[in-house]
Chains A and B, each alone.
Chain A
Amino acid sequence: MNTSVAATARLLGAGLRALLVLTVICGVLYPLALTGAAQTLFPGKADGSEITDQGGRTVGSSLIGQTYTLPGGDPEEAARPDPRWFQPRPSDGLGANSVNTQYTLLLSGATNRSADNGAVDGACPKDAEEGTLCAQVTAAQRAVVADNSTASYTVAPRDVPADAVTSSGSGLDPHISPAYAELQVHRVAERNKLGVERVEQLVREHTEGRTLGFIGEPRVNVLELNTALKSLIRS
């Protein structure tokens, strides 16, 4: 009995020593060496790909989506989108799952609603229960149609692309599809008193194709587009 207890203790001791040695290697030396290499080779990227506007002020990261909303309003209500700027995708998953109140940290997350969430008899009803995916998608579609139709340009619900009415996985999607950007051009041009063609050109300049022609999807970076739009307005 005593020998088996001693043997077990010896074994656990070996396990602990192995863990400590490997912790030093994989948990201290490796991340520190890598941070050094990353900061030397790709300093901007390792720190979060921050971008600046014309005046040199940091406006965020090209990788992280932001909201472009009107200031003020009722703090209880969701902020209203500012029609002068291109709007990102909805992010209905954010904010609902905050667990740490110590910080107002940027939190990522999806809605995790199922494809039939809020559906009745296999279809989304007109008055889907609030907070369900059916209600979110229907409301978002109605808002996109209403916000983007101008005197000379009417948006039909079938023209609204899927990314305009769905939340992304991270809730921080920095991109929208070229179709959604195109759909917003008339509104943005009107609100900023710019020519439609000039804004269309701006969207084209900021449309990224697939990497090597086949990896990923074509997309428009909203922050970069809005930053370019801002300098266009100022000039």
Chain B
Amino acid sequence: MSSQTAGLLQLLALIGALALAYRPLGDYMARVYSSQKHYAPERWIYRAIGADPAVEMRWPAYLRGVLAFSAVGVLFLYGLQRLQGSLPGSLGFVSIDPDQAFNTAASFVANTNWQSYYGEQAMGHLVQTGGLAVQNFVSAAVGMAVAVALVRGFARSRTGELGNFWSDLVRGTVRVLLPLSVVGALVLVACGVIQNFAGIHEVGQFGGGTRQWNGGAVASQEVIKELGTNGGGYFNANSAHPFENPTPFSNLFEVFLILLIPFSLTRTFGRMVGNLRQGYAILATMGVIWVAFTGLMLWTEFAGRGPALEVAGGAMEGKETRFGIAGSSLFAVATTLTSTGAVNSFHSSYTGFGGGITLLGMQLGEIAPGGVGSGLYGMLVMAVIAVFIAGLMVGRTPEYLGKKIGTREIKLAACYLLVTPALVLCFTAAAMALPTPAGSMTNSGAHGFSEILYAYTSGANNNGSAFAGLNADTQWFNSTIGIAMLLGRFLPMVFVLALAGSLARQKPVPETAGTLRTDKPLYAGLLVGTIVIITGLTYFPALALGPLAEGLAA
């Protein structure tokens, strides 16, 4: 069997597995977020928090909950890193410097997991397991909560109430993420992912002598890193490290984990708005983009264009033998079309076009299928824009799911769309204009520019992967990427929740013969077109200077 055929079969197996999980998981999550029942352990948690889970919140209250919880998260994680050297469980590692501690705290709370540190050489058990891995759970749960609040905005009318943030946070964590993580982590350990607290120890070597290894609670962190679309590796090499991703099967399983919740949430959406076909239209849009990107990536990586790759006889630089080109390409597309940013191969060494596909994937706004929660609300904002454009074409007030898309709604959606491109392009331009940031580049020319464009694209879109030749552990990059991550995460949430509040207040508009059917293939096509055109127009000049220049020269 050729590697290409094997790659296509892996893609088909992935689609099959996701399809099998789609209905049960999507329906289960809809029940989790709709149920009135609180389990006993959850009631203890609410008592500890001091929050009444039955209280309904309007959008400003919901937003305050999100921001307060996240602000505390940043401060806590910052403090934990700054004190690491004085706390137990540090494995002897020193405290993290202020700029890097800020960057890492912002990164993990913003569900980005950009890492300017080397996992195995900087973070001990306490920070990894008690700090970083915890944010892997709760930042994902916050994303899901905001998405569910927006869905309630569409589903409810004449109220303005969006649910209870604390209840959504706790349920997302203990009813969805934790059970899936326990099962997934055991599968990973069965493949060979390590799970111990051995710390730094010596291991005998073939040629005599020993080597120092850093053991740790890797499986428990690896699973939520993928499932919560986080992406922060325990080790510097992330999911390319054999202790994080030991076999071809574990590789495919990790890609599955990355895509599982974001795709299934479209079913949750359909279920909660009472029209499953609306969910299928969103699913189809996400699926088409994901499959198309995967196809393009397989094509360019198997073609292997690029001077050094042609001398080598294949695009294997930065890729592991056990995954090959196909397993690496599948992972690279999944990780950049979601907000994961875990890598099993190093994007900087991909072909020029391959690197461009990972960049473009993030620039789409990570909505196909996107991050846990953030993918769904990002795609729903795009859906609002698409009905608006369709409304302009026929001269009718646009509606989506029985809600009028008026001036206020479209302003909020437009603000949402502008945040990340503004952050990416302004910071990239500033970094290129200043004299020192360019000193962090490993590669020169078009690829050097791509390294910086990639860094801010990844930060502002909360991805976290990198063209890792860039030395990002400088005060400039730690600070600016940290700011980009926080603004790129929380400003859009403000607009999403405001939009949700505004939608929930409306009374539903009855469907007429003139209403645009948003559950049909025609609309899914319009949505794909809207996404591609808006992103293309925004980023084309920047892409032309970086990956397109590199790819066309090869």
Interface residues of A (CB under 8 A from B): 8, 11-23, 25-28, 30-31, 33-35, 37-39, 41-42, 45-50, 53, 57-61, 63-69, 71, 82, 85, 89, 97-100, 102-119, 122-124, 132-134, 136-138, 141, 158, 160-163, 165-177, 210-217, 219, 223, 226-227
Contact = CB atoms under 8 A, between A and B. Distances in A.
A167 to B, nearest CB: 6
Indicate the member of A31, A64, A68, A115 with the most B CB atoms within 10 Å.
Answer: A115
9 contacts: A48-B213, A66-B206, A99-B473, A106-B213, A106-B214, A114-B550, A118-B308, A124-B308, A216-B327
B212 to A, nearest CB: 5
B121 A162 contact: no
Contact of A168 (B314, B319, B443): B319
A57 B242 CA distance: 22
Interface of B: 1, 3, 5-6, 9-10, 13, 45, 48-51, 64-65, 68-73, 76, 92-94, 117-118, 120-122, 129-131, 133-134, 137-138, 166, 169-170, 173-174, 178, 181-182, 185-186, 189-198, 200, 203-207, 211-215, 217, 219-221, 224, 235-237, 240-243, 246-249, 251-252, 304-324, 326-328, 343-346, 348-352, 355, 442-443, 445-447, 467-469, 473, 550, 553-554
B248 A217 contact: yes
B85 to A, nearest CB: 11
B241 A170 contact: yes
Given A25-B174, A113-B442, A216-B248, A106 B207 contact: no
Contact of A63 (B212, B219, B246, B306): B246
Given A21-B48, A167-B317, A223-B206, A34 B133 contact: no
B212 A26 contact: no
Nearest to B224: A26
Contact of A110 (B71, B120, B121, B240): B240
Contacts of B445: 116
A139 to B, nearest CB: 11
A148 B292 CA distance: 42
A79 B118 CA distance: 25
Contact of A39 (B196, B251, B349): B196
A82 B208 CA distance: 14
B514 to A, nearest CB: 45
Contacts of A20: 48
Contacts of A117: 308, 443, 447
Contacts of B200: 103, 105
Contact of A11 (B65, B118, B247): B65
A106 B120 contact: yes
Contact of B349 (A110, A158, A177, A226): A110
Indicate the member of B94, B316, B442 with the most A CB atoms within 10 Å.
Answer: B316
A16 B133 contact: no
Nearest to A59: B206
Contact of B120 (A34, A105, A136): A105
Indicate the member of B212, B242, B305 with the most A CB atoms within 10 Å.
Answer: B242
A151 to B, nearest CB: 26
Nearest to A114: B447
A217 B169 contact: no
Given A111-B349, A216-B248, A26 B316 contact: no
Per CB-CB distance, the 10 closest pairs between chain A and chain B, nearest first, are: A216-B248, A115-B306, A169-B240, A162-B314, A217-B324, A108-B237, A119-B307, A112-B469, A58-B204, A170-B237
B321 A113 contact: no
Given A25-B174, A66-B205, A116 B312 contact: no
A47 B13 CA distance: 30
A223 to B, nearest CB: 6
B205 A60 contact: yes
A63 B326 CA distance: 20
Contacts, number: 405
A57 B76 CA distance: 45
Contact of A137 (B48, B178, B312): B312
Contact of A35 (B220, B311, B321): B220
A33 to B, nearest CB: 8
Indicate the member of A12, A28, A141 with the most B CB atoms within 10 Å.
Answer: A12
Contacts of B237: 108-110, 169-172
Given A27-B129, A114-B469, A172-B237, A19 B217 contact: no
Given A107-B236, A169-B343, A116 B318 contact: no
Given A103-B121, A114-B443, A166 B241 contact: no
Given A136-B308, A170-B240, A172-B242, 7 more contacts: A14-B68, A58-B203, A59-B204, A110-B237, A116-B307, A169-B343, A216-B251
A27 B131 contact: yes
Contacts of B94: 102
Nearest to B72: A15
Contacts of B310: 124
Contact of B68 (A15, A47, A67, A227): A15
Contacts of A211: 247-249
A134 B211 CA distance: 31
Contact of B45 (A21, A98, A115): A21
Contacts of B182: 30, 33-34
Given A21-B49, A47-B194, A113-B443, A60 B220 contact: no
Indicate the member of A102, A109, A176 with the most B CB atoms within 10 Å.
Answer: A109
Contacts of A176: 321
Indicate the member of A13, A31, A212 with the most B CB atoms within 10 Å.
Answer: A31
A17 to B, nearest CB: 5
